[in-house]
Amino acid sequence: MEPNSWARCSICGKTIHYDQIYYACSVSGCNRKSAPHRFCSVDCWDAHVADRNHRNAECVEEQAPAR
């Protein structure tokens, strides 16, 4: 892990840094605290939605915590 990394994209594994905008899935099952899905880009969220066959899912813009 890079020193400044906060999490990893659930799709491509790219690092999500502290204080960075990331994307979450609005489907409640995807936001369990134990294993939340987080995405580095809308494209990765799109891939997740296609993978899970979600209906009516929304992309939620979030900000990683500051260090």
Positions that interact with Zn ion (CB under 5 A): 9, 11-12, 14, 25, 27, 30, 40, 44
Please state, as a whole number, how many other Cβ atoms lie within 10 Å of the Cβ of residue 25. Answer: 22
- Of the pair 6, 44, the CB lying nearest Zn ion is at 44
Query: From the CB of 37, what's the least distance to Zn ion, in Å?
Result: 6
Residue whose tokens read 């997740």? 48
- Of the pair 3, 36, the CB lying nearest Zn ion is at 36
- Of the pair 14, 19, the CB lying nearest Zn ion is at 14
Non-local (6+) Cβ contacts of 27 within 8 A are 52, 54, 57
Element (H, E) at 63: strand 59-63
Query: From the CB of 56, what's the least distance to Zn ion, in Å?
Result: 11
